[in-house]
Structure 1
Amino acid sequence: MSLEFLLTSFIVVVSPGTGVLVTLAAGLSRGARAGIVAALGCTLGIVPHMIAAVSGLAALLHASALAFQTIKYLGVAYLLFMAWQVLKERGALSVDEKTAPRSARQVVLSAIFVNLLNPKLSIFFFAFLPQFIGQDETAPLMHMTELSLAFMLMTFVVFMGYGLFAAAIRSQVLSRPYILTWMRRVFAGAFVALGTRLAFSER
């Protein structure tokens, strides 16, 4: 496993995207446990991308205009839905000591879905990962699986850090309502920006 792969993977993982926003929102709104659970959900959301890359389904998706457009606009719709949820007083970024806890299953499913429609992951597994599989590789599928698992582990560790950081500053947000107001706007704007970028993306 090359240093170049690890460094590039780290840049991809740590860069702000839908998974990072979901994990931060979970940690801010419901504490450390929710942040860790969201990180786990986002990591599990990588599995379909990994399976697609290993099995060659990514190539089929790339070749099919209809399939690509369908996945793309499902992602756009969900990102806009997330933006609306964040702006609501009792929505996805509701930071309140009396906030009703969401079950681990709800948090995980939401995180899986948002990463399932994450275009950054599709690009990573379709365009980037194969570059690290040599033409003379004796077991290319095994090597690709190993690299994918390393990427997933890195994602979980980094996202868990995001979630714990968000949980650590939760009390500061609780004591300063105006911070939450601006955070809602920033998060909503970020989701809209990601949705807009995805809407205009090409294969």
Structure 2
Amino acid sequence: MKSRDELTDHFTRIWFSCPLFRTTCTYCCYLRNFCRPLSILSRLFDCYRGAAYLLFMAYEAFKDSGSAAKPLSQPSRPYFSLYRKGIVMNILNPKVSLFFLALLPQFVNQQANSSALQMLILEGVFILQAFLIFSAISFFAGKIAFYVVENHALARKFNLAKALLLALIGLQIAFSDQ
């Protein structure tokens, strides 16, 4: 491995012997210094554009008259088809894979003989609890949906809460230090 002095000497020889290298490095330094303010302006513009969009969505939610959302007329699909679609979505979801790869191995006892069996048990517990929780959410969401769709006063309150949250998030983004 070369020492720092040898590398400096090597770079100096290249710098003075190759005008193309010297010109390229000089232009790269100029571009970096020129593009830095543009990058900051771009980030600033994106920040304010996002905040403005959130404030616009808050305004749209606020001015909504409270008319309840009408369910879309969709053809009825068999439950097994919906279940299969959910399984495919969970298999293709990278968050689930990252969870199994990054978090679960921490709970495996390395001194035990069967690490694979422990992982299978942990994965089974995760799948069981996810199935129970998502089934309960789906069941209660279906029951509550009929009440929410027909109740205009409740829909108006939801719209006001949504408008308030969107406005607060938009203002927080607009006035944050970054």
Find the structure with the greater CA-based Rg: 2
TM-score (norm 2): 0.43
TM-score (norm 1): 0.38
